[in-house]
A and B are shown apart, each in its own frame.
Chain A
């Protein structure tokens, strides 16, 4: 009897582990895309580790850049000085234009609100299974991050939105290239409305554009704001191909504006004032 139990012990443990996984998979069925506590707990434990590793290697990189790689600094300084000069000019012109519409106190208040609504975050990790689905950033609930806040790249192009799990100092961003993502968009020229979904390979598809509707290759896509998650008029991507389909809708491929390989810093739009800034454009 004891020999029998000894022989069956290993397969029994394997079956127990398989059963445990099947339970984990099954409990997600009623939850849908909501994350279970077990997943949230693992993310909360390991995301600070990821944060720490990124911080460590960044510090080493900074050490190299600060003390050994100085030949690049002069060129960069010159470039940034020019850029700051142009931005100051632009800022001045914009302030003058605003002054015509509002008094200066209101403008200062508006600008400070906008500054507080933009939260700069660093990318600390990519999706462990498919890099085009999600990224992890170094800001979390302690920084005021909440589910569905929108994320832009340095140039103001749409990257995605904050999803769960959100830990104290880390959060996950669902990219617009994820095939479960959906963004309500409108084409800039022909004003065709559709839903942008990712293909999981770094590009997107524009869905639900009927065959008779006119959309052109090279046309810009902007968020429409109809989904009530993404505010309107944020740049999303460019239509790269339009093909007729046997179904009612066209096959439209879209190249997103954000470049995944240059995605080291992102901007999270937090709060209503940040969103109203876009709506007020």
Chain B
């Protein structure tokens, strides 16, 4: 039950941040991928299955709030959630710098996978890519590494 509540809260937080940032500035919403951060966080802390499920849920939410093919973001995030959990249980990605590069690689992978899937299903996506999306892995990783560090410190202080 605790896991469900935590996962739900994670998704709601990502959704709130996405809405808030898109209200503040439309460009900011393109610069940070909060849904992917939640997926990676749960994959790191709970493993590949939890990461994959979080990817499915958050990806489908993202899909339902955008035009285009429903299920593509869900599929990309599910795969990335699983891979993130799988790798993080074999390689230590907890230190800040490693964590940063890990998130960069995961989000870049997700972007590449989304582009590939979109291009495979319909050719529309590649033509509409905005330059800002290429900064998304870096900016999200930067923000994500700090948030993960903060969450780890909070957990440590509690225990």
Q: Are A25 and B69 in touch, CB under 8 angstroms?
A: yes
Mask: chain B, 53-71; 1 = CB below 8 Å from A; 0 = not: 1011000111111111111
Known pairs A25-B72, A54-B19; A131 contacts B29 (CB<8 A): yes
Contacts of A54 in B (CB 8 A): 19, 23
**Cβ < 8 Å to A, chain B residues 20-78:** 20, 22-23, 26, 29-30, 35, 48-49, 52-53, 55-56, 60-75, 78
Judge whether B49 and A49 touch: CB under 8 Å: no
- How far is it, in angstroms, between the C-alpha of A188 and the C-alpha of B85 when the chains are bound? 58
Q: How far is the CA of A254 from the CA of B30 in the complex (A)?
A: 24
Digitize A28-47: 1 where CB-to-B-CB distance is under 8 Å, 0 elsewhere.
10000001101100110010
Q: How far is A200 from B129 in the complex, measured between Cα atoms in Å?
A: 8
Q: Give the distance in Å from the alpha carbon of A127 to the alpha carbon of B63 in the complex.
A: 9
Is B12 among interface residues, defined by CB-CB distance under 8 A? yes
Count, chain A residues at interface, CB 8 A: 46
Docked-complex contact B71 and A126, CB < 8 angstroms: no
Interface pair B62/A129, CB less than 8 Å apart: yes
Knowing A46-B61, A200-B127, the reply to whether A131 touches B30 (Cβ < 8 A) is yes
Write the chain A residue with the least CB distance to B30. Answer: A131
Counting CB contacts under 8 A, is A130 at the interface? yes
Contact indicator B16/A53 (Cβ below 8 Å): yes
Can you name the residue of chain B whose Cβ is closest to the Cβ of A14?
A: B82
Known contacts A14-B82, A200-B128; is-contact A133 B26 (Cβ 8 Å) = no
Question: Are A22 and B61 closer than 8 Å at their CB atoms?
Answer: no
Do the beta carbons of A13 and B52 come within 8 Å of each other?
Answer: yes
The B contact surface, by secondary structure, is: helix
B130 within 8 A of A: yes
B102 at the interface (CB under 8 A from A): no
Q: Tell me which residues across on chain B come within 8 A of A17, comparing CB atoms.
A: 52-53, 55-56, 78
- CB–CB B130/A201 < 8 A: yes
- Contact bitstring A48-81, B, C-beta under 8 A = 1, else 0: 0110011001000000000000000000000000
State whether A39 touches B66 (Cβ < 8 A).
no
Q: Is the pair A21, B26 in contact by a Cβ cutoff of 8 Å?
A: no
Residues of A within 8 A of B9 (CB): none
Q: Which residues of B contact A270 (CB under 8 A)?
A: none
A210-224 interface code vs B (CB 8 A; 1 in, 0 out): 000000000000000
Q: Which residues of A contact B30 (CB under 8 A)?
A: 131
Q: Is B124 part of the contact surface with A, judged by Cβ < 8 Å?
A: yes
Question: Which A residues are CB-close (under 8 A) to B70?
Answer: 24-25, 28, 35-36, 38-39
A260 at the interface (CB under 8 A from B): yes
What is the interface of chain B, defined by CB distance below 8 A to chain A? 12, 15-16, 18-20, 22-23, 26, 29-30, 35, 48-49, 52-53, 55-56, 60-75, 78-79, 82, 121, 124, 127-128, 130
Q: Can you sample 10 A-B contacts with CB below 8 Å? A: A10-B49, A17-B56, A18-B75, A24-B74, A35-B70, A42-B60, A127-B65, A127-B66, A130-B128, A180-B67
What residues of chain A have their CB less than 8 Å away from a CB belonging to chain B?
10, 13-14, 17-18, 20-22, 24-25, 28, 35-36, 38-39, 42-43, 46, 49-50, 53-54, 57, 124-134, 136, 165, 172, 174, 178-180, 199-201, 260-261
